[in-house]
Amino acid sequence: MKKSKPKKILFLQAFPLQGCGSGIYTRELAVEVNKNPMIKTAIVCPDSRENISNLKIYPLELPFQVAFSGHPDWPVSKMYKDLQPKEVSEVFRSFLGSVTRAIEDFQPDLIHVQHISILLWVANFIRATYGINFIITTHGTGILGAKDNKIYVPLSQDSLKRAKKIISVSKDTKERMLELFGNEFESKTSVIPVGIKTENFPADKTIKIINEKYKLDGQKIVLFAGKLTNLKGTDYLVSAARDIKGDVYIIGDGPEKKNLEDLARKLNLNNVHFLGYMGDESRDELIEFYYRANVFVAPSVTDEALGLVILEAMACNTPVVATRKGGIPTIVKDGVNGFLIRPKNSKAIAEACNKILGNENLQKKMSINAKNLIEDKFSWQTIAHKYINIYRNACASLPKQKENKLKITENHIQTTKI
């Protein structure tokens, strides 16, 4: 019996594979799926790093740097919501050229697109010309970009009609996607959350770096990690710091960093510390902060999908105080593994943090519950298994155009022989 060849899955991602949730999502999913001997993965993305767990990385060329809500690797970038028609066309042409070159080299059986945006249109074009099926994972920021600029809606709707499968990273993201693009996509949309490498987050971890480096001995720590944009609501955490009975450490960078530092000076706060962005080279320090923190705060004022930093903090036995926005309530259970609060409410942030900081038994109970939830539902092994089933089904049938192409080719060969 002839042995089957591995199916090739080509991921399309518009952002680097670090520094943002969807980039990390793409990288870790591709790595985990690639462990299956019957699947081979590659990624098209604007990331110059090489040898990511033996993954093939194809360059995604950009006419200019552009993001949905900023990116730490791109201190100066345009926003998708602000692009003019000519700029959208430039991005599409650049993306199409990059993806086409990857298609010719990798010869994938299936395309997996991240975000409802311009790369989705490219996948739809590739399907029409090459006859390669595609699926799409929807993230919250892509939907928000289309909501803010309706220029993205018609072509995205057309592309969604031809997608073999639509996956949303949370129930809330699915609902917002259907509200914007149409309920007709309900039947082929499933929810698969973000995953994390649970093996990288052992139950016990020795703090080797940060206690001495940042002089943390004896401190009670409230932690924030993420992009410093106005959507993250970090200003409400800074304002809350004057009433928080501990030190607030803010890890991250972005357009709001200077405003936040100015706010801390204006309020004469001595317990707020800005540590900047910690990328892969500082990953060990970030992980230690997750473990060392008494509470992690996610004060978002917009509808987050889930929040990778929340999952990572919980995997490190850290309770979470978060706003009741988007998909966050699906992982943060009020009074169980943290507290849910109203957005834009500094007083509520301080009160929730102090409840945990002042009650060691409560913190321990919430820590255990947080860790157990992550291990049960959010490991990459669990997430990858769900995707592998989707890949198999999506690869099982060819688009009609490819079937027609094959028939045309066969007829042409027969005619030529005659």
How does pLDDT run across 150-207, given as a tens digit for each residue? 999 999 999 999 999 999 988 888 999 999 999 999 999 999 988 888 888 998 888 9
**How many structural domains comprise the chain?**
2
Claim to verify: residue 263 and residue 177 sit in the same structural domain: no
Asked if the structure places residue 120 within a domain, the reply is yes
Asked if the structure places residue 43 within a domain, the reply is yes
Claim to verify: residue 150 and residue 280 sit in the same structural domain: no
Claim to verify: residue 69 and residue 183 sit in the same structural domain: yes
Q: How far apart are CA 15 and CA 20, in angstroms?
A: 8
pLDDT per residue rounded down to tens, the chain (418 residues): 556 788 999 999 999 998 787 888 899 999 999 999 999 999 999 987 666 777 899 999 999 999 988 787 888 899 999 999 999 999 999 999 999 999 999 999 999 999 999 999 999 999 999 999 999 999 988 888 888 899 999 999 999 999 999 999 888 889 999 999 999 999 999 999 888 888 889 988 889 999 999 999 889 999 999 989 898 999 999 999 999 999 999 999 988 999 999 999 999 999 999 999 997 788 899 999 999 999 999 999 877 666 789 999 999 999 999 999 877 888 899 999 999 999 999 999 999 999 999 999 999 999 999 999 998 888 888 899 999 999 999 987 655 555 444 443 334 333 333 3
pLDDT score at 326: 77
Sort 118 into a burial class: Cβ within 10 Å, 0-12 / 13-18 / 19+: buried
pLDDT score at 306: 67
Claim to verify: residue 138 and residue 22 sit in the same structural domain: yes
How many helices (H) and strands (E) the chain has is answered by 15, 15
Asked if the structure places residue 66 within a domain, the reply is yes
Claim to verify: residue 76 and residue 148 sit in the same structural domain: yes
β-pairing, 272-276 vs 247-251, is: parallel
Asked if the structure places residue 61 within a domain, the reply is yes
Claim to verify: residue 73 and residue 178 sit in the same structural domain: yes
Claim to verify: residue 280 and residue 142 sit in the same structural domain: no
Q: Is the pTM of this model over 0.85?
A: no
User: CATH code at 186?
Assistant: 3.40.50.2000
With tokens 């996607």, the residue in question is: 177
Asked if the structure places residue 358 within a domain, the reply is yes
Claim to verify: residue 366 and residue 394 sit in the same structural domain: no
Claim to verify: residue 43 and residue 181 sit in the same structural domain: yes
Asked if the structure places residue 206 within a domain, the reply is no
Q: How far is CA 354 from CA 232, 313, 331, in A?
A: 21, 18, 21
Asked if the structure places residue 288 within a domain, the reply is yes
Asked if the structure places residue 38 within a domain, the reply is yes
With tokens 């309706």, the residue in question is: 150
The region, left, alpha or beta by phi > 0 then psi within -120 to 50, assigned to residue 379 is beta
Claim to verify: residue 369 and residue 232 sit in the same structural domain: yes
Claim to verify: residue 256 and residue 320 sit in the same structural domain: yes
**Parent domain of 63:** 7-195+379-417
Claim to verify: residue 227 and residue 169 sit in the same structural domain: no
